[in-house]
Amino acid sequence: MRSFQYRLSEFDARGVRVVGISVDPPEVNRRQSQKLGYTFPLLSDPDARVIRRYDVLHRGMGPKGSDIARPAEFLLDPNGIVRWVNLTENIAVRARPEQVFEAFEQIGEPDSH
């Protein structure tokens, strides 16, 4: 997510919102945002309800065997339709902003016709 923060102005320029979602409670998210200088929202899904609905749950991988999210990135258009997905096969390998920019260019202008 660090790379998304670095290039947040480029997301802003495109009008694309960036959010992180994890099982962390808001207090942890606030502390991490301050520590890492993140200015985009970090959303809290403590009982992994949304994480489950997106089927990006990683069972038993959290502290004391709790369920957490696996890394995954989705690009949605303004209608909420998924336009690009990245489901990594390696926890250490995450999406990069340029992949999202490229996917966003593919969507094209929504009101060009």
User: Does 65 engage in binding with another protein (CB under 8 A)?
Assistant: no
- Cα–Cα distance, 69 to 52 (Å, whole number): 8
- Cα–Cα distance, 43 to 20 (Å, whole number): 6
Mark residues 16-55: x for contact with another protein by CB under 8 A, - for none: xxxxxxxxx-x-xxx-xx-------xxxxx----xx-xxx
User: Does 8 engage in binding with another protein (CB under 8 A)?
Assistant: no
Smallest gap from Cβ 9 to another protein, in A, equals 14
CB 98 within 8 Å of CB 73? no
Interface with another protein in residues 69-98 (CB under 8 A): 69-85, 87-93, 95-96
Name which of 79, 87, 101 is nearest 58 in CA terms.
87
